[in-house]
Structure 1
């Protein structure tokens, strides 16, 4: 019953709704007492040759009243109780979704997508059942059982009633023991479902890679193993669950045996009439549901309890990114001063950034280059406040970025990551995703700025073309340029391009950079790239290696230093000449 205590906050909030439902359950139980009583009376009247037409129609009228009453009152409790359960699910679903929206990057490193989806589907359904089927089963079994037993005592015989209900404590003991085992096994079942969900989501998302490397068979075998393991765990859950009904049926069988033997004795001794015995048997039949309900109740409660613990555990997690109580709400703008003495990712002792310092005046462009893993993307993550656990300070417009609200900071930044995520909607809606009030003219202007406008016009439906899940129908270069258009449409104070031109050719890259320079003359831009031509026109260039700044300066200054930058420039120039020569020979 601990789950009811855990959901006490909701039941206190919706007590009128549930009181309304319980009252209608009581009315249904009272109306249900009428038919057995009427049938018993009819049998006694017929046995005594006292049944008249008026009495028959009166009895039939009572049965009709009972039928109509059951319909009306059942509609009442269904509306109240099932409505309350649906509202709880909506409340928890919204709460969990917004919790996901607020959590930091570390949270998503600890929890896989499939596991989070399992919490938001299977677990919430199990909790909803507590507020629906759980409440119904609890109160309906208590009300129906108690009113039926009272009717058996009042209308038939207290001795027969006492003997008939003697086996019931056995049911409570059985339900408790099986319920405890069910709770443990269902927790394992939910965890197994999460693992299966993870595998399914991962395989579907990576289906192209799986097919490309010919891992279809191996991935299917791995999936089958997880399915078999999940089925094995669920079999144990179903085995325990299946013990409730047979045990309840056994106890009911004992009750019927007592009723027939002792009830027959009472009829033979004229202590009760044959009609009363028939009514008593009908009342015993009415007790079948309360007794079955006890087993079902423990099933629902234990499942809901396990799921609530899983969801509550997620909701208790706190983001490490916390807004100051008096945070600045106006959008950030101005010079950027980045001074990080040391930064390590959570649970990693290795320093990813060490003594990375730079100042970027408003309106200028900063280029950041270096090998893969040098720390370029980490700088952007700190600017975006994905992590706050660094030694140092980052200022934007004379204020520490931690002094801004997240909305004020992030609204000032347009970010194009390495992995360009596009939504399963139209091209136009992907571009204006950050601001759906943008007009078509503004969408097309952003597309021109990112050199993707002509490509879009060649699509089947132009700007109305559906791009498919994660942009599956687009090339890598088209996805990159759409992501750039999505970032520039809001004219952000700071535009960050994180190796966002790697999939476009040199000519298109030059066009995009030229457009950005023209349109963003008074705006700040940071470009990280593997291809040095992307940053050659930047006001300042940083060269990173193992989280350290090993060179800094303009393009010309770095070439004169004859360091890593100059070496890579020479290699890339040579590679470009070779590719141009090969292309010319191919065309010739």
Structure 2
């Protein structure tokens, strides 16, 4: 029953529906006590010859009306109860989604996507069942069981009631033991389902790579192993489930045997009438479902308890990055980056050291450097995906650690090297951050990103569905659609994180020229391995081993025979060789 206490916050929230449903169920329980007693009176009247046909018909009509009323009341109370339980699923999934969106990247390194999906589906469904079927079975077994026992004890025969209850302690002991086994095994089966979901998700995402390397058979064998493990864990749950019903059925059979045998003896000695025994067995029939419900209740509660424990493991993990409270100043403020040192967790060497950059509003900053030089780390710190301790990043004099996090991130539009597109139309993908945008605004952003002409060549134009993750588009088309999406937002700071790597040099040049020609120039940060993308930057910063090794304009850096000049000339030579082939 502990799970009911853990869900008390929701029961308080929906107390009207739950309270009304239980109140109606109490009325139903009272109504259901009438027919067995009435049948007992009718039997005694028939045996004694003291009941007329008209009286019997009146009783039968009254009982039929009572059953119709019980039927209607059951519809109402189930709608209230199960409607509230379904709402719990919505509340928990919304809560989980909001929790996921507040987490830093480290959270998703600890928890795989498949595991989070399994907790958001199977575990939430188990809790919905607890708040619905669990409350139903608990109320039914408690209210009906107590009411029937009260009538059997006070109105019929307390001796016969005690005799019928003799098998109950054995059932309670066994059900409690099976419940503890079910809790552990259900938790293991849910963990196995998480692994199965994650393996499925990874296999589908990497299906091209699997085929390219000819790994289908190996992957199939690995997948079958995970499936078998999940099946074995579920079978362990089924084996415990299978123990409940036989125990209940044997208990019910033994209880009926004792009550009929004991009742016959009480009739023989004149302490009980045939009508009383008939009513007693009918009341005992009403006890069958509550007794079955006890086993089902333990099953549901243990599943819900295991599911709640798994959800709490996620919900109790507080975000690593906490929002500040200081409002940001107006638009077009300078950005100051003063990094003394930054270490990734469990790394001795600093990923960044003595990095000092001042970026004026409307200017373009270029970031270059070899792989592992710290460019992505700098971007993560700038977006507060990682927390800077030694140093500060300030916008218009406000430290971003003190700023409202959502307001700070909303100043950025970021385009990565591998942009994510949704399984929607091209127009919907471009308008993702601004759903109310008109088609003319969407096309203008696409034209700035040099993708409008390509889109109009598609048979359905902007209504073309791109497929999951943009699978129907080329790499360059996906990048340019992502750039159009960022440009439509018209955010103050545009970040191109190697976002032009899949387009040709001519298209790259046109896109950057379009950005520079805007009436109200955005602040632009361009991270690039192809150095032609940095030619128009107001300042270029070259990082090596986490430190600034060079800085200046494109022309000034070419005057020095350092990494930038050498790499630029090498790329130019490589381009000339490719064009000559």
Asked if TM exceeds 0.5, the reply is: yes
Q: Which residue of 2 aligns with 1:474?
A: 473
Indicate the larger mover: 502-511 or 517-526.
517-526
Indicate the larger mover: 130-139 or 166-175.
166-175
Q: Which residue of 2 aligns with 1:342?
A: 341
Pairing of 1:366-445 with structure 2 (within 5 A): 366-445=365-444
Q: Which residue of 2 aligns with 1:307?
A: 307
Pairing of 1:193-212 with structure 2 (within 5 A): 193-212=193-212
CA contact (8 A) 1:332 1:396 kept: no
How far the C-alpha of 1:30 sits from its partner, in A, is 1.8
Q: Which residue of 2 aligns with 1:586?
A: none
User: Secondary structure at the residue paired with 1:495?
Assistant: strand
C-alpha distance in 2, partners of 1:415/1:577? 31
Q: Which residue of 2 aligns with 1:448?
A: 447
CA contact (8 A) 1:467 1:474 kept: yes
Does residue 515 of structure 2 align to residue 525 of structure 1?
no
Q: Which residue of 1 aligns with 2:282?
A: 282
How far the C-alpha of 1:69 sits from its partner, in A, is 2.1
Q: Normalized against structure 1, the TM-score is what?
A: 0.95
Provide, for residues 351-394 of structure 1, a one-character-per-residue CA deviation record: whole Å limited to 9, x for no partner: 22122221122222111112222221221111111111341111
How far the C-alpha of 1:499 sits from its partner, in A, is 0.3
Q: Which residue of 2 aligns with 1:132?
A: 132
How far the C-alpha of 1:331 sits from its partner, in A, is 5.3
Q: Which residue of 2 aligns with 1:237?
A: 237
Pairing of 1:177-326 with structure 2 (within 5 A): 177-325=177-325
Does residue 91 of structure 2 align to residue 99 of structure 1?
no
CA contact (8 A) 2:328 2:398 kept: no
User: Secondary structure at the residue paired with 1:526?
Assistant: strand
C-alpha distance in 1, partners of 2:528/2:100? 31
Indicate the larger mover: 125-134 or 511-520.
511-520
How far the C-alpha of 1:303 sits from its partner, in A, is 0.9
How far the C-alpha of 1:412 sits from its partner, in A, is 1.7
How far the C-alpha of 1:155 sits from its partner, in A, is 4.0
Question: CA distance change for structure 1 residues 28 and 420 in 2, over 3 Å: closer, same or farther?
Answer: same
Question: CA distance change for structure 1 residues 336 and 520 in 2, over 3 Å: closer, same or farther?
Answer: farther
How far the C-alpha of 1:347 sits from its partner, in A, is 4.2
User: Secondary structure at the residue paired with 1:562?
Assistant: coil
Question: CA distance change for structure 1 residues 378 and 520 in 2, over 3 Å: closer, same or farther?
Answer: farther
CA contact (8 A) 1:321 1:388 kept: yes
CA contact (8 A) 1:31 1:69 kept: no
Does residue 557 of structure 2 align to residue 564 of structure 1?
no
C-alpha distance in 1, partners of 2:296/2:395? 59
Question: CA distance change for structure 1 residues 244 and 218 in 2, over 3 Å: closer, same or farther?
Answer: same
User: Secondary structure at the residue paired with 2:321?
Assistant: coil
- Stretches of structure 1 lacking an aligned partner (at least 5 in a row): 583-588
Pairing of 1:483-498 with structure 2 (within 5 A): 483-498=482-497
Please report the RMSD computed on the Cα atoms of aligned residues, expressed in angstroms: 1.7
Q: Which residue of 2 aligns with 1:149?
A: 149
How far the C-alpha of 1:456 sits from its partner, in A, is 0.6
Pairing of 1:33-72 with structure 2 (within 5 A): 33-72=33-72
Q: Normalized against structure 2, the TM-score is what?
A: 0.96
Question: CA distance change for structure 1 residues 135 and 578 in 2, over 3 Å: closer, same or farther?
Answer: same
How far the C-alpha of 1:345 sits from its partner, in A, is 2.5
User: Secondary structure at the residue paired with 1:403?
Assistant: coil
